[in-house]
Amino acid sequence: MKAVFLASVTALAISSSLAQAASEPAVVYDQAGKFDKSFNEGVYNGVKKYTAETGIQVREFEPKNEAQVEQGLRRLAKRGYSPIVTVGFNMTSAVEKVAKDFPEINFTIIDGVIDLPNVQSVVFKEHEGSFLVGALAAMASKTNTVSFVGGMDIPLIRKFACGYEQGVKYQSPNATVYQNMTGSTGAAFNDPTKGSELAKSQFSKGSDVVFAAAGGTGIGVYQAAKDEGKLAIGVDSNQNHVQPGTMLTSMVKRVDEAAFKTYADSAAGTWKPGLVVLGLAEDGVDWALDDNNANLITADMKAKMEDIRAKIISGDIKVHDYMSDNTCNY
Amino acid sequence: MFETLILMLDATMRVSTPLIFAALAGLFSERAGIVDIGLEGKILGSAFAAAAAASVFGSAWIGLCFGIVASICLAMIHGFACITHRGDHIVSGVAINTIVAGLTVTLSMYWFGMGGQTPALVGDARFLDITFPFADAIASVPVIGPIYSNLLSGHNILVYLAFAMVPVTYWVIYKTRFGLRLRAVGENPHAVDTAGISVAFIRYRALIICGILCGLAGAYLSTAHNAGFLKDMSAGKGYMALAALIFGKWRPVPVLLACLLFGFLDAVAVRMQGVEIPGIGQVPVQAIEVLPYVLTVLLLAGFIGKAIGPKAIGRPYVKERA
Amino acid sequence: MPYAIELRDISKRFGAVQANKDICLQVPAGTIHGIIGENGAGKSTLMSIIYGFYEADTGHIEVDGKRVDIRSSQDAINAGIGMVHQHFMLVENFSVLENVILGAEGGAVLKNGIGAARLELQRLAHEYSLDIDVDAIVEELPVGLQQRVEILKALYRGARILILDEPTGVLTPQEADHLFRILKALKEQGVTVLLITHKLREIMASTDNVSVMRQGEMVAHRETVNTSTEDLAELMVGKKVRLTVHKDDAQPSDVLLSAKNLSQFDSQGVKRLKNVSLELRAGEILGIAGVSGNGQSELLNVLSGITPMDEGEIHFAGQVINAKAPKNAAQMRDLKMAHVPEDRHKMGLVTGFEAYEAAVLGYHNSPVYNGKILMNRKAMLDECNERMAAWDVRPPNPHLKTANFSGGNQQKIVIAREVEQNPEVLLIGQPTRGVDIGAIENIHEQIVKLRDSGKAILLVSVELDEIMALSDRIIVMFDGAVVGELDAKDADERTLGLMMANAFNEEEGVSA
Amino acid sequence: MSQAKVPAWVNVALIPLLNILLAFLVSGLVILAIGENPIEAAGYLIYGAFGYDEGIGYTLYYATNLIFTGLAVSVAFKGGLFNIGGEGQAYIGGLGVGLICLSLDHTMPLYVIAPLAVIGAAVFGAAWGYIPAYLQARRGSHIVITTIMFNFIASSLMVYLIVNWLKEDGRMAPNSRTFEENAWLPYLHELFSPLGINIGDSPLNLSFIWALLCCVFVWGLVWHTRWGYQLRTLGTNPTAARYAGIDTAKVTIWAMLISGGLAGFVGLNEIMGVNHNLLLNFTAGYGFAGIAVALMGRNNPIGIILAAILFGALYQGGAELAFELPTITPEIVVVIQGLVILFSGALEHMFKDRIEGFFIRRAVA
């Protein structure tokens, strides 16, 4: 027994020193984990796609607390994994520290901005996508009342809310939009109970379409919509499959593309540091139409959506970015 | 205004349900002299077991059974430590809470591989809402309509069960042989022992009931209120139930009222996040969230009434040596 | 004729302690049988075995000539055995009725049982003159009535054999008389009574037969009419008891301590100490007599500063101490008042401490044991070694945990600690409780020696013999108040007993 | 009764060792149940915790927090108080550190900030322990319940303060701005490298040394001062404490002040040593883990250091384990922790009585 044990320890030491030589891609999810059906899962889909197309395994790491984020990053960097995709603004400070210490390793941070020569920062024009689904919500609403459930009360989520509201009002200027935030900490992204409570209260006030930009909290929102026969709009990943028939659409944020592109570019040697902003024009955000929601979208709605989409890209419709001035005056 | 109130009360019923189950669970345990800060762990354990079983077998009822069994097992560990081995009740409770917090995530990762969640439950794997007869028909009648069709109708069966458990608990505690013995054991176990009744057996039975009720609370969380298990989904409900138990002075009806009060505060807090109230501005949600704990502390400190628990609570029963 | 209860070769061992050894006992039906013995003689263990609290290692029990296996209290109850414990086994916030039916509810739902119990209790009350308000809450009843609830509990379960364990410890002599009348009535109805006590007078007054236990063994059986107090006392302790202490007449001088109208309320607002005034002079021993629980403990606690008084004042060492200017136990010690508490386990010692640590309890702030920041362990150890030698503490090991000393040696550690601080006033409670005979003499001698050196001593004891033997002056307390004072030379048991029941002038006026 | 006959090493070493072995055994079964090889897992765990410089650094970094909370629990416990509120006290202690750093980092050098931060951590942590202590000592409310409630109150308070007051406008993550570097406690690897000693990069910082000093402080305080004597008297026999003229309310309050202050030092390590900003949930359960550490370490400073290193190793090794074997989550460490609390705390009599009984019988025979 002791011998087995010692052998495995030795084997470990060897294997970890071997790992140093490799230069494989890696990803660090945030604490919600890769199966949050939303943001992280989007990245995970990109990772899956890359592995499926190239056969190259991507080293995945799911930290469980604050300290492990930096430790995990450091460990990956030390073993030479590159590029390392990191998910979410929560990781900004950890990535910043580790990227400074490992200038030869490439990092991509999604939803955060770091100004370092070895970091690519990918951010999205969520307001544009939110505007689109807002318009669709207004089209689908029979009560002329729609609502929004946000996760954590931060500027980023207000950006979703603001874009959504603009879209609704664009389509139907006298519509009512109810908004609720789930909380003021990270836990607000993972609280389906509260999500469902908020959605239920919005439904009883008359809302019949709800857009949740709330990570795992959204699961509760969609469940509530299904239970009460209302419509819901997903976020980040294409969530139309979560509750088919209930999901009107999803505001897709192509984090999967961002992750995939990082790996692909890196393999091709075209990966570049710096800020990458992805909007409707770049296919970075969009609304999702697939088999799951085809029945809910009439040809008329589809046509209108295409029209609005084109207008945003062309600049005919200006969507206000909440984060540009921390207000929602449009 | 009336509409809003009805909606808030409606939410209060849903949010209070796990608190009621758990606080009544604590009532059985603590009235028998066993301090139970492991309510939290039992709720979490049951929530996981219920969701896991419901997703595998596709039946909420099977899930409920598993949840209850898991919770009873945890209660028996508590009993084994506190009753059989005279261990410290608080330490045992902390141990159970800690073990469950770790184990549920570990096991769900292994079984479902979804970052500590179980798959979303659909259809029969969940307890669905029950609509009372004519609920839709009289929904438009003023006052009675909203009360009947919004507030009373349209909850799942566990919500009604929770409220039904209150009179049942009252009856068991005050009107039955078991209840008499249970209360006696919490006050003076020596008296019970000399009356020829096994102290340990009564306490174990009290803990089994405690386990069943916590099991219901947990199953409600994961298979009725939500549609699946989530890491740490009990989120302090066990502790809040404990606070409600103290706030209700270990008596069924006041405990119910305390749970409803705490549930109402929660329902208010949920809706206050980031909301500007004209003229006042944002009310910090945290101030509302924290009220149940502050009220309980004030009560314990004797600033609002006095909470006197069962006399023999927390003390292991040892037959005195001559 | 078969015996109501017969014990055959009962033995019981707890770890290294042989609590009962080959006990045989035969009790004829319809008699009152006394069992006497010193504290720790094994009486309570034996009764616990009969009542199913413990299982005997060997031997067996027969009831009415038939062998019964008693593994639990339930078995004992089924065999017709009832027990009234020294500390009542009552749920204090339950009603009398609830207490009585506990364990014999007569069905899963209480309603029916309660009705039946009401009728049955009426019958019992009538038959044995055991009147009681069945709906009263137990904690609101006086002690004598609480005991009655215990007896009713046993009878309600149909007990034909009733065991009473030290039933009079908490009763006034008059309440005790009433109890014995009840026991006589029970006996006439054919109930067999086992009376456990260490009070010889009770045995002589009320029993038919008596058995004597000593160190876990049954050493003698006597018919009560054929024995005497002296005979039993000798059997109990194994040698002639010396109940008197050799001492000269007291030479009281200045008043060292005077207390005026001391009153104190407990946490429930009940007045436990009622306007107690007393004076304590240098060179005398003032004895406080009284049934346990009549304010003696409260008096000691107030005088020593452990609990503040609510009314009244104490004059001591030139200071006036009252509710507005209280002094805590440490401050009283600074004024040279020492205190040997009634219960050394609860108060006098920290059993988890090593002896040298326990030997400074209360004096731990003294500069002798302290350096600038840290405590001076060497000084503590040196002094402890000296005292252990001077007081013959065995084993003389300052590092031994205090829990591991025998009762007598623990008491020596406590008394040495207090006396060696050279106090002006010594408060001493139950100095010889749970102490072996040899040590008792030693302790008594030390107390007298201290008196002779001109110190004032306040002695509290529930042992009348001890009070009478040691005191120069005796104060009697009843229900928290001083009800009489007399010179020790004028004291006799009867007078003291009546005073202790506050019935000196009206004979049996207040008995419950 | 006859503890004298039980050799000291039984209580000090054998019983804790058995408890931990049993906890490992059960966790091993769990690992086996999820289809991994427990021995291989243990290999990764030990390698991760002790196998390389950096790992050791992380182990000691985790241990630092656990020493603080373990000491906190044990000081209160010595006075007969079950301080289950270490989590909240640590949290508020961190607030103290954070406020000092945020207000002084632009103007003051480290040697001014550091002592003030130590005081800030102690004062804030102690203040959070004070209220439950006061309520227990003067108003008779049960400290276990109040400290539980105060954990929740602390958590809400911190959210409110950080989100509404300390978070910079426009910042997403709910934390304060990052301190200037002169308000960072030096890392030990930075301190050692000029001496030519090379230890791996890790968050291990100066607060580890402070933790060791705290152990010495607690040892002296509890076992060698008058106050400690009073504390232990109160903890073992409250009636005797009153008899001895000890002001029990005062000792109770001071015990909790010291306990809270010690817990508050977690903030020193986390806020000033590692994160360099004030953030949410940095206490991460260390307050509760302190209970396990104190139980395991038998409330003795040396024992607490050893237990803290053991648990620190579990944290660090557990992270390594989860990194290498993704099917095992780091939560397995939480399970081990809970089992240790169960076996060495709640079920202590199960083994202790039997083992002591064995030695007593042997001594008698």
Can you give chain D as a three-state secondary structure string? Answer: CCHHHCCHHHHHHHHHHHHHHHHHHHHHHHHHHCCCCHHHHHHHHHHHHHCCHHHHHHHHHHHHHHHHHHHHHHHHHHCCCCCCCHHHHHHHHHHHHHHHHHHHCCCCCHHHHHHHHHHHHHHHHHHHHHHHHHHHHHHCCCHHHHHHHHHHHHHHHHHHHHHHHHCCCCCCCCECCCCCHHHCCCEHHHHHHHHCCCCCCCCCECHHHHHHHHHHHHHHHHHHEHHHHHHHHHHHCHHHHHHCCCCHHHHHHHHHHHHHHHHHHHHHHHHHHHHCCCECCCCCCHHHHHHHHHHHCCCCHHHHHHHHHHHHHHHHHHHHHHHHCCCCCCHHHHHHHHHHHHHHHHCHHHHHHHHHHHHHHHHHC
Query: What CATH number does residue A75 fall under?
Result: 3.40.50.2300
pLDDT at C511: 35
Q: Is C231 helix (H, G, I), strand (E, B) or coil?
A: helix
**How many other β-carbons are positioned within 10 Å of the β-carbon of residue D109?**
11
Interchain CB contact of C374 with D (< 8 Å): yes
Dump pLDDT digits (tens) for A100-123. 989 999 999 998 889 999 999 999
Interface contact flag, C92 B188, Cβ < 8 Å: yes
D365 pLDDT band, cuts 50/70/90, is low
Q: Which residue has the higher pLDDT, A60 or C437?
A: A60
In whole angstroms, what is the distance from residue C168 CA to residue C145 CA? Answer: 13
Interface contact flag, B274 A219, Cβ < 8 Å: no
Model confidence, pTM: 0.89
Pick from C38, C322, C50, C286: nearest CA to C161:
C50
Interface contact flag, A66 D170, Cβ < 8 Å: no
Dump pLDDT digits (tens) for C160-188. 999 998 888 777 767 888 899 899 989 99
First to last CA, chain C: 38
Whether residue A234 is contained in a domain is answered as yes
Q: Is C210 helix (H, G, I), strand (E, B) or coil?
A: strand
pLDDT at D216: 97
pLDDT at B313: 85
**One domain, residues A110 and A197:** no
Interchain CB contact of C95 with B (< 8 Å): no
Of C16, C306, C370, the CB nearest to D364: C16
**One domain, residues A302 and A263:** no
Query: What CATH number does residue B133 fall under?
Result: 1.10.3470
Of B82, B85, B101, the CB nearest to D334: B101
- Mean pLDDT, range C485-497, rounded to an integer: 81
Q: Dihedral (C-alpha) B138, B143, B148, B149: value to the nearest 10 degrees?
A: 60
pLDDT at C1: 63
Whether residue B313 is contained in a domain is answered as no
A52-61, A188-197, C230-239, C421-430: least confident range: C230-239
- Residue-range definition of the domain harbouring residue B55: 2-300
Residues 6+ apart with CB under 8 A from A271: A83, A106, A108, A120, A262, A265
In whole angstroms, what is the distance from residue B191 CA to residue C88 CA? Answer: 8
In this predicted structure, the answer to whether residue C411 has a pLDDT above a threshold of 80 is yes
Which positions in chain D touch A13 (Cβ < 8 Å)? 47, 51
In this predicted structure, the answer to whether residue B70 has a pLDDT above a threshold of 90 is yes
Q: Which residue has the higher pLDDT, C180 or D11?
A: C180
Dump pLDDT digits (tens) for A157-186. 999 999 999 999 999 999 999 999 998 877
**One domain, residues A318 and A263:** no
pLDDT at C53: 85
Dump pLDDT digits (tens) for C278-295. 999 989 999 998 877 788
Interchain CB contact of B306 with C (< 8 Å): no
Which positions in chain A touch D329 (Cβ < 8 Å)? 64
E strand or H helix that includes residue A247 = strand A247-253
The number of distinct structural domains making up chain A is: 2
Report the b/e string of A73-103 with b at 16+ CB within 10 A.
bbbbbbbbbbbbbbbbbbbbbbbbebbeebe
**One domain, residues A319 and A197:** yes
The sheet with strand C17-27 has its strands ordered as C17-27, C5-14, C58-63, C66-68
Whether residue B248 is contained in a domain is answered as yes
Helices D248-267 and D207-224: crossing angle, nearest 10°?
170
Mean pLDDT rounded to a whole number for chain A: 87
Dump pLDDT digits (tens) for A238-297. 889 888 889 999 999 999 999 999 999 999 989 999 999 999 998 899 999 999 999 999
Of A12, A75, A154, the CB nearest to D172: A154
Which positions in chain A touch B233 (Cβ < 8 Å)? 193
In this predicted structure, the answer to whether residue A5 has a pLDDT above a threshold of 90 is no
pLDDT at B320: 56
In this predicted structure, the answer to whether residue B319 has a pLDDT above a threshold of 60 is yes
Q: List phi, psi (to 5°) of D290.
A: -60, -30
Whether residue B319 is contained in a domain is answered as no
Chain C 455-474, residues with CB within 8 Å of chain B CB atoms: none
Report the b/e string of C474-503 with b at 16+ CB within 10 A.
bbbbbbbbbbbebebeebeeeebbbbbbbb
Which chain D residue's Cα is nearest to A17? D52
Mean pLDDT rounded to a whole number for chain B: 89
Q: Which residue has the higher pLDDT, D362 or B200?
A: B200
Percent of chain D with pLDDT over 70: 98
**One domain, residues A162 and A304:** yes
* Structure token digits, residue D221: 């305080």
In whole angstroms, what is the distance from residue C9 CA to residue C23 CA? Answer: 5
Which chain D residue's Cα is nearest to C418? D244
Q: Which residue has the higher pLDDT, A41 or D261?
A: D261
Residue pairs between chains C and D whose CB atoms are closer than 8 Å? 83
Which positions in chain D touch A185 (Cβ < 8 Å)? 159, 163, 174, 280-281
Interchain CB contact of D156 with B (< 8 Å): yes
Which positions in chain C touch D224 (Cβ < 8 Å)? 374-375, 377
Of B177, B178, B322, the CB nearest to C44: B322
Interface contact flag, B271 A190, Cβ < 8 Å: no
Of D139, D152, D288, the CB nearest to B98: D288
Chains touching chain D through at least 3 C-beta pairs below 8 angstroms are: A, B, C
Q: List phi, psi (to 5°) of C32.
A: -105, 120
Interface contact flag, C74 B194, Cβ < 8 Å: no
**One domain, residues A156 and A130:** yes
Longest distance between any two alpha carbons in chain A, whole Å: 76
The number of distinct structural domains making up chain B is: 1
User: Is chain D in touch with chain C: ≥3 Cβ pairs within 8 A?
Assistant: yes
pLDDT at A248: 95
Which chain A residue's Cα is nearest to B129? A227
Q: Which residue has the higher pLDDT, C159 or B309?
A: C159
Gap from B14 CA to chain D (nearest CA, Å): 22
- Mean pLDDT, range D49-61, rounded to an integer: 91
Chains touching chain C through at least 3 C-beta pairs below 8 angstroms are: B, D
Q: List phi, psi (to 5°) of A250.
A: -135, 140
- Mean pLDDT, range C18-37, rounded to an integer: 90
Helices B89-112 and B60-79: crossing angle, nearest 10°?
140
Q: Which residue has the tokens 């020593």?
A: C304
Q: Which residue has the tokens 């006589």?
A: C184
Q: Which residue has the tokens 């002040």?
A: D257
Chain B 192-231, residues with CB within 8 Å of chain C CB atoms: 192-198
C512 pLDDT band, cuts 50/70/90, is very low
At residue D160's C-alpha, the angle toward residues D159 and D162, to 5°, is: 65
Domain residues of chain C, as ranges?
3-237, 255-511
Interface contact flag, C93 B187, Cβ < 8 Å: yes
Q: How far out from the chain centre does Cα D195 lie?
A: 30
Interface contact flag, A181 B274, Cβ < 8 Å: yes
Interchain CB contact of D29 with B (< 8 Å): no
Interface contact flag, A185 D159, Cβ < 8 Å: yes
Q: What are the beta bridge partners of residue C428?
A: C340, C459
* Structure token digits, residue C4: 């109501």
Interchain CB contact of B221 with A (< 8 Å): yes
Dump pLDDT digits (tens) for D264-318. 999 999 999 998 999 888 988 899 999 989 988 989 999 999 999 999 999 889 8
Q: Domain C255-511, what architecture? A: 3-Layer(aba) Sandwich (3.40)
Which chain C residue's Cα is nearest to D244? C362
In this predicted structure, the answer to whether residue A20 has a pLDDT above a threshold of 50 is no
Whether residue B64 is contained in a domain is answered as yes
Interface contact flag, D281 A185, Cβ < 8 Å: yes
Residue pairs between chains A and B whose CB atoms are closer than 8 Å? 77
User: Is chain A in touch with chain C: ≥3 Cβ pairs within 8 A?
Assistant: no
Which chain C residue's Cα is nearest to D235? C350
- Residue-range definition of the domain harbouring residue A117: 26-124+256-281
Whether residue B306 is contained in a domain is answered as no
Mean pLDDT rounded to a whole number for chain D: 89
Whether residue A248 is contained in a domain is answered as yes
E strand or H helix that includes residue B41 = helix B39-57
Interface probe with A: pick from B273, B283, B286, B288, most Cβ of A within 10 Å? B273
Q: Which residue has the higher pLDDT, D164 or C161?
A: C161
Interface contact flag, C42 B322, Cβ < 8 Å: yes
pLDDT at C244: 65
In this predicted structure, the answer to whether residue A47 has a pLDDT above a threshold of 90 is yes
Interface contact flag, C365 D226, Cβ < 8 Å: yes
pLDDT at B72: 97
DSSP one-letter code for B188: -
Interface contact flag, D148 B301, Cβ < 8 Å: no
Mean pLDDT rounded to a whole number for chain C: 86
Which positions in chain B touch C52 (Cβ < 8 Å)? 196
Interface contact flag, B117 A181, Cβ < 8 Å: no
- Mean pLDDT, range D159-181, rounded to an integer: 84
Interface contact flag, C73 B196, Cβ < 8 Å: yes
Could you say which of 3.90.1150.10, 3.40.50.300, 3.90.1280.10, 3.20.20.140 is the CATH number of the domain covering C3-237? 3.40.50.300
Of A197, A204, A227, the CB nearest to B129: A227
Of B179, B188, B322, the CB nearest to C91: B188
In this predicted structure, the answer to whether residue C503 has a pLDDT above a threshold of 60 is no
pLDDT at C228: 82
Most trustworthy range by pLDDT among B155-164, C340-349, C413-422:
B155-164
Interface contact flag, A193 B273, Cβ < 8 Å: no
Interface contact flag, D335 B103, Cβ < 8 Å: yes
Interface contact flag, C91 B191, Cβ < 8 Å: yes
Whether residue A4 is contained in a domain is answered as no
Gap from B168 CA to chain C (nearest CA, Å): 13
Interchain CB contact of D24 with A (< 8 Å): no
Which positions in chain A touch B288 (Cβ < 8 Å)? none
E strand or H helix that includes residue C314 = strand C311-316
Whether residue B316 is contained in a domain is answered as no
Which chain C residue's Cα is nearest to B172? C109
Tally of helices (H runs) and strands (E runs) in chain B: 13, 4
**One domain, residues A107 and A166:** no
